Amino acid sequence: MKIAALQMVSGTDRDRNLEAARALIAQAAAEAAQLVALPEYFCLLGRRDDDKLAIAEPCGDGPIQRMLAQAAQAHGLWVVGGTLPLAGSDAAHVRNACLVFGPDGTQRARYDKMHLFAFDNGRERYDEGRTLEAGDAPVALQAGSLRVGLSICYDLRFPELYRALMAPPCDLLVVPSAFTYTTGQKHWELLLRARAVENQCYVLAPAQGGQHENGRRTWGHSMIVDPWGEVLACCPEGEGVVLAELDAARIEQVRTQLPALAHRRM
């Protein structure tokens, strides 16, 4: 199966971001992708953290969800919808949710980001908990012949989440992200390749990548990593489509020659 990571440089206009996402999905479909994934916050990177509250949608309806469903159905492929803000338990908070739509346009899975990012190096300060509610459960789904595990950005630093997704083992782990330039430069590829190697599966990592209208700079480097930790394709910066073939035989080969998953004791 051909899979695609869609890299964006999302701005402050939701509708313009949706059009950009729609175009990238169409481009990937034209290149024979059967499963595509958008980055975290593909629909909006606002000037303020709470800008996302104004575009939050109830689960099951809204312009962001309609675009994802329509694109999946129009192109007959699986769409992992990066993340979008879904209504939380109060007006001051939302869930940062990853929704997956099948080739028929129906929603097949929802995962709410479990680990909320906070960072302070004396110059840069950020805390997702001010506007986000954390999810509380890992989510995997069957996408055709593939078992796909869902995660979001900061989740990448918590290997126990991925271990929970490997019962039974996934063929593909998806990590829609908006890594900061500072942390991405040091840790992004390192962590992605580690997750691929320790779980012996493919990793699909679509990211935000560039200088945004709000002044934020994201690391980009959307990539696809194989079960041996090899980077198959990467887009360093700017909008783009990253494509690679997911080969089930390659997963089987790696798990047979080095059966680490079978050797687990905890």
Burial of 214 (0-12, 13-18, 19+ CB in 10 A): middle
Alpha carbons within 13 angstroms on the beta-carbon side of residue 191 total 23
Whether 113 is catalytic: yes
Whether 153 is catalytic: yes
Whether 186 is catalytic: no
Measured CA to CA, the distance from residue 81 to residue 212 in angstroms comes to 20
Which of 40, 57, 189, 239 is catalytic? The answer is: 40
Which DSSP symbol is given to 57? B
Alpha carbons within 13 angstroms on the beta-carbon side of residue 130 total 11
Reply yes or no: is the peptide bond before residue 103 cis, omega within 30 of 0. Answer: no
Check: CB of residue 200 under 8 Å from CB of residue 227: yes
Nearest to 73 by CA among 34, 29, 33, 103: 103
3-state SS, one letter per residue, for 206-235? CEECCECCCCCEECCCEEEECCCCCEEEEE
Which of 57, 98, 113, 170 is catalytic? The answer is: 113
Which of 52, 57, 128, 153 is catalytic? The answer is: 153
Check: CB of residue 149 under 8 Å from CB of residue 170: yes
Measured CA to CA, the distance from residue 89 to residue 77 in angstroms comes to 32
How many other CB atoms are there within 10 angstroms of residue 79's CB atom? 29
Block residue for tokens 């206009």: 13
Residue 79 host element (H or E): strand 78-80
Measured CA to CA, the distance from residue 46 to residue 16 in angstroms comes to 13
Residues labelled catalytic = 40, 113, 153
